[in-house]
Amino acid sequence: MKADAANSPTGGMGSLERAMLTAEIHDLYDGQGDGDRLLAAFRAAALYVPLAGSEPVCSVETDGVQWLYAFTSTTELERFARGRAEAGTDPGWASGRIRYWTVLGSRLLGVAVPAAVTETRTPTGVAVDAGGIRPLLMPPVSGVVPDQAAVDLLDMDLDRDRT
Residue 98's pLDDT is 83
Residues 6+ apart with CB under 8 A from 152: 141, 142
Residue 92's pLDDT is 65
- How far, in Å, are 71, 115, 127, 139, 155 from residue 33 at the CA level? 19, 29, 18, 16, 28
Residue 83's pLDDT is 84
Q: Name the strand (E) or helix (H) holding 3.
A: strand 2-7
Axis-axis angle for helices 35-44, 15-29 (nearest 10): 150
Question: Chunked in runs of 10, what are the mean pLDDT values of the chain (163 residues)?
Answer: 55 76 95 94 94 75 92 92 78 73 94 91 94 93 90 58 44
**Cα 25 to Cα 83: distance, rounded to the nearest angstrom:** 22
**Cα 76 to Cα 130: distance, rounded to the nearest angstrom:** 8
Residue 159's pLDDT is 42
Residue 93's pLDDT is 67
Residue 1's pLDDT is 55
